[in-house]
Amino acid sequence: MFLKRIVAIVVAALTLTGCATYVNIPAQERDVALHQPTYDVVTDVIAASFAAVLADRPIDGPYRIVMPAGTLASQYAQVGAALGPQATWSLQGGDQALPTLDARQVRIRGFDAEVDVLRPVDATQPAGFQQLVTVYLHDDLMDDWKAVNLRAWRMNPDEALRMNQE
């Protein structure tokens, strides 16, 4: 009887998470994935990605976060709170003079995710060159999303984004 309950709980958990765990933001041609940035899992994945990018190359002082179009103010507030008091945001665009972390693409496949984050090459020159970083994440159901690897692209960010979407 105990084993049947455990199996039922696991099946229910997998069923409940199955709907929002195939996500492409932005939408890809002819895909069947979800595209709304308002799912909690998207917020969690982006927050973990920003934290990993900051751990890899910290920004000294305030910085701006940008999330996919359609993200709610409450989600920005949640991610900002998770990152700490240096993180700022605005749905109207924010301070362009601040270094910016911009979540450009999100791909979630079950317990694995990839987020393409645009960051400044030099945080002291926010209007300077940008670099694309792909953050690879995993969720083991017993803990939060964790970054398992980062790939810093050494090419034009727009070209890297196109290549990474294929």
Give, for all 166 residues of the chain, the pLDDT tens digit. 555 455 445 444 544 444 458 999 988 888 888 989 999 999 999 999 999 999 999 999 999 999 999 999 999 999 999 999 999 998 766 667 899 999 999 999 999 999 999 999 999 898 889 999 999 999 988 889 999 999 998 877 777 777 766 5
> What is the model's pTM?
0.83
Residues 125-157: b if buried by 16+ CB within 10 A, e if exposed: ebeeeebbbbbbbebeeeeebebeebeebeeeb
Distance of alpha carbon 47 from alpha carbon 26, whole angstroms: 17
| pLDDT value for 69 | 93
For the packed helices 40-56 and 73-83, what is the interaxial angle rounded to 10 degrees? 30
133, 119 in Cβ contact below 8 A? yes
Q: Partners of 88 in the beta sheet?
A: 64
